[in-house]
């Protein structure tokens, strides 16, 4: 059963499973056998034989490696590997939306009507008619072909970024796209431990309520697939890379010693226009969830989720990154932006195609885009005062400290500025004045310039500028930290100005 026929046309990378008898048995076992006339059971294409799994494949089916659908351990049950079944489905033409919905349902083993995948339906229908034709005629077949390349693109299991690992995984953009296409078709095994985000299957996006923002997130992702499928020079996808790292520091020791150096205030530039993602060359903060990506593949649609759908390669980090500890962050380098957006939250929408001109490093193949995920503490209305407690302040400074720490490619004196903003102050209910000061302290401890985006709030911009000017003139980093410890409540800027001489 583990051997199957596989046609491999090296120019178009198309593959077809021909073990139809086997496939019928498997489908019957799942009670999903389509009617005899179904387009899913077409005559096989001419093919060459290939043994599954591919020769030399190194499979680690354990808690420290990503479980790929192409692994022989990914099974239907009773020792029957799942991959030939998935490959069989993906090798068949998917000429229209109903066929696409049905294919996904068959892959996940769901016997619901195709109509249950309403958000997916709406996302596809929202494309202009000409683009719908291009999607089914060109893009989807290219996605299927890329999906079928999985065993070839991943000759070994991908290691996970587990707690405390301080590790980096580098993938080509083609590998990243392959994983995302599998997410789209929902082929990943769902046996993900609780300490990881869900498998990167798009199931929760495709199904359930068709919220406007959910549909628009899918539109962004369809746009990404169109771009990848129609890329002028496909070799760029094999050449360019994206890296996914997990960074942990001993903040309990490092933060006090950084304070002891008497570091001066880092320069701050406050911007009431623009957004973090527009700050090319900066260390761009992702206001993250402790599970990388937060609700990107569900209903979330704020800063992190939006960043992940306009730079979809970030979504791979959801599959790789174990839940963050207080002293850890994740760093994604090289993710490309493919789309612009308008609106935010419930009004979020795909806006237009975006051509990312950020330079690509000739040696690493990585675009100079650095996205750093730091998760703030979440406060509910009844716990919001807790953020002013000393322990909470220490936790948040430690988190910003690890997020703003020098990266391996940054020599002393060449630190990128950090582009940040109202971290932890939206969904997570934090206090803007407090979070601003904590981030400014962390940036200063590293000697990193800070650009602060107020997200269009000019009043906040004025307040920040006034405070920055006063504090930088009259108080040291160490003094502000002491004031913070004693303060313990809101209206921090007012308290700080009381420590500064009147103008």
Beta pairing partners, 49: 5
CB of 197 to ligand AR6, least distance (A): 10
In the bound state with ligand AR6, the residue whose beta carbon lies nearer, of 243 and 272, is 272
In the bound state with ligand AR6, the residue whose beta carbon lies nearer, of 374 and 405, is 374
> Which residue among 84, 119, 151, 300 contacts ligand AR6 (CB under 6 A)?
300
Say if CB 127 and CB 110 are below 8 A apart: no
CB of 307 to ligand AR6, least distance (A): 7
> Which residue among 84, 114, 119, 294 contacts ligand AR6 (CB under 6 A)?
294
Look up residue 7 and give its DSSP letter.
Answer: -
CB of 459 to ligand AR6, least distance (A): 13
CB of 419 to ligand AR6, least distance (A): 8
Q: Reduced to 3 states, what is the DSSP secondary structure of residue 100?
A: helix
**Beta strand 418-421 pairing with 283-288:** parallel
Compute the distance between CA of residue 491 and CA of residue 104 in angstroms, rounded to an integer.
52
> Which residue among 83, 136, 440, 453 contacts ligand AR6 (CB under 6 A)?
453
In the bound state with ligand AR6, the residue whose beta carbon lies nearer, of 117 and 427, is 427
Q: Which residues in the 259-278 window bind ligand AR6 by CB under 6 A?
A: 275-277
Residue 131 known to be catalytic: no
Choose, from 279, 304, 336, 392, the residue flagged as catalytic: 304
Compute the distance between CA of residue 328 and CA of residue 446 in angstroms, rounded to an integer.
16
Q: How far is CA 43 from CA 91, 103, 212, 417, 490, in A?
A: 11, 18, 40, 58, 70
Look up residue 492 and give its DSSP letter.
Answer: H
Residues 6+ apart with CB under 8 A from 315: 180, 183, 200, 293, 296, 297, 308, 309
Q: Which residues in the 409-428 window bind ligand AR6 by CB under 6 A?
A: 421-428
Say if CB 61 and CB 71 are below 8 A apart: yes
In residues, how long is the chain? 503
In the bound state with ligand AR6, the residue whose beta carbon lies nearer, of 81 and 294, is 294
Residues 6+ apart with CB under 8 A from 186: 104, 107, 108, 201, 202, 203, 206
Q: Reduced to 3 states, what is the DSSP secondary structure of residue 107?
A: helix
Place of tokens 């309403």: 118
> Which residue among 231, 302, 472, 483 contacts ligand AR6 (CB under 6 A)?
302
Look up residue 6 and give its DSSP letter.
Answer: E
Six-digit token string for 178: 């392959």
> Which residue among 140, 219, 376, 443 contacts ligand AR6 (CB under 6 A)?
376
Say if CB 64 and CB 164 are below 8 A apart: no
Quickly list DSSP for 348-370. -EEEEE----PPBPTTT-BBS-E
Binding-site size for ligand AR6 (CB under 6 A) equals 24
Choose, from 59, 277, 279, 286, the residue flagged as catalytic: 286
Helix intervals (H) in 171-232: 173-185, 203-206, 212-229
461 binds ligand AR6 (CB under 6 A): no
396 binds ligand AR6 (CB under 6 A): no
In the bound state with ligand AR6, the residue whose beta carbon lies nearer, of 225 and 308, is 308
CB of 381 to ligand AR6, least distance (A): 14
- Contact region with ligand AR6 (CB under 6 A), list: 22-30, 112-120, 189-197, 281-289: 281-289
Is the four-CA dihedral 76, 46, 156, 315 of positive or negative sign? negative
Choose, from 59, 149, 305, 431, the residue flagged as catalytic: 305
In the bound state with ligand AR6, the residue whose beta carbon lies nearer, of 140 and 371, is 371
Compute the distance between CA of residue 192 and CA of residue 196 in angstroms, rounded to an integer.
7
CB of 277 to ligand AR6, least distance (A): 6
In the bound state with ligand AR6, the residue whose beta carbon lies nearer, of 5 and 341, is 341
Q: Which residues in the 176-215 window bind ligand AR6 by CB under 6 A?
A: none
Compute the distance between CA of residue 386 and CA of residue 431 in angstroms, rounded to an integer.
11
Helix intervals (H) in 191-302: 203-206, 212-229, 235-239, 251-260
Residue 392 known to be catalytic: no
Q: Reduced to 3 states, what is the DSSP secondary structure of residue 14?
A: strand
- The residue nearest ligand AR6 at its CB is 294
CB of 105 to ligand AR6, least distance (A): 28
Distance of CA 324 to the CA centre of its chain: 14
Per-residue contact string for residues 106-145; x = within reach of ligand AR6 by CB under 6 A: ----------------------------------------
52 binds ligand AR6 (CB under 6 A): no
Compute the distance between CA of residue 186 and CA of residue 203 in angstroms, rounded to an integer.
6
304 binds ligand AR6 (CB under 6 A): yes
CB of 249 to ligand AR6, least distance (A): 20
339 binds ligand AR6 (CB under 6 A): no
Residue 356 known to be catalytic: no
CB of 82 to ligand AR6, least distance (A): 30
As annotated, the active-site residues are 286, 304-305
Binding site for ligand AR6 (CB under 6 A): 275-277, 287-289, 294-295, 300, 302-305, 376, 421-428, 453, 455
């Amino acid at each position: 059963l583990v051997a199957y026929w596989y046609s491999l046309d090296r120019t178009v990378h198309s593959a077809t499973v021909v073990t139809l008898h086997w496939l019928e048995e498997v489908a019957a076992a799942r009670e999903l056998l389509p009617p005899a006339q179904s387009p899913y059971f077409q005559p096989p294409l001419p093919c060459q034989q290939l043994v599954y799994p591919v020769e030399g494949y190194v499979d680690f089916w354990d808690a420290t490696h990503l479980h790929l659908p192409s692994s022989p351990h990914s099974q239907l049950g009773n020792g029957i590997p799942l991959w030939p079944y998935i490959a069989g489905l993906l090798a068949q033409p998917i000429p229209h939306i109903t066929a696409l919905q049905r294919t996904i349902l068959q892959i996940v083993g769901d016997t619901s009507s195709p109509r249950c995948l309403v958000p997916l339906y709406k996302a596809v229908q929202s494309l202009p008619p000409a683009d719908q034709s291009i999607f089914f005629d060109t893009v989807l077949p290219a996605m299927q072909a890329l999906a079928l390349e999985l065993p070839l693109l991943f000759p070994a299991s991908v290691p996970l970024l587990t707690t405390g690992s301080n590790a980096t995984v580098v993938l080509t953009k083609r590998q990243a796209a392959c994983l995302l296409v599998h997410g789209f078709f929902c082929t990943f095994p769902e046996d993900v431990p609780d300490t990881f985000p869900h498998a990167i299957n798009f199931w929760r996006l495709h199904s359930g309520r068709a919220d406007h923002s959910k549909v628009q997130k899918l539109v962004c992702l369809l746009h990404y697939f169109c771009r990848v499928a129609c890329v002028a020079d496909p070799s760029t996808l094999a050449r360019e890379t994206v890296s996914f790292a997990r960074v942990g520091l001993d903040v309990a020791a490092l933060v006090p010693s950084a304070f002891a150096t008497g570091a001066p205030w880092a320069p701050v530039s406050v911007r009431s226009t623009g957004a973090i993602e527009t700050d090319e060359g900066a260390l761009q903060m992702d206001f993250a969830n402790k599970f990388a990506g937060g609700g990107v593949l569900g209903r979330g649609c704020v800063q992190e989720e939006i960043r992940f759908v306009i730079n979809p390669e970030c979504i791979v980090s959801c599959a790789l990154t174990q839940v963050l500890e207080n002293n850890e962050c994740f760093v994604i380098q090289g993710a490309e932006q493919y789309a612009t957006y308008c609106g935010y939250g419930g009004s979020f929408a795909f806006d237009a195609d975006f051509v990312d001109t950020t330079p690509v490093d000739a040696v690493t193949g990585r675009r100079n885009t650095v996205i750093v995920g730091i998760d703030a503490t979440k406060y509910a209305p009844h716990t919001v005062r807790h953020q002013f407690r000393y322990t909470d302040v220490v936790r948040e400074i430690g988190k910003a400290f690890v997020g703003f720490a020098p990266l391996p490619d940054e020599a002393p004196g060449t630190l990128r500025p950090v582009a940040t903003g109202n971290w932890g102050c939206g969904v997570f209910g934090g206090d803007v004045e407090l979070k601003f000061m904590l981030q400014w302290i962390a940036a200063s401890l590293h000697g990193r310039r800070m650009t602060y985006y107020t997200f269009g709030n000019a009043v906040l911009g004025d307040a920040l500028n006034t405070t920055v000017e006063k504090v930088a003139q009259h108080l040291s980093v160490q003094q502000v930290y002491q004031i913070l410890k004693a303060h313990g409540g809101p209206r921090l800027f007012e308290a700080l100005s009381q420590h500064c001489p009147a103008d």
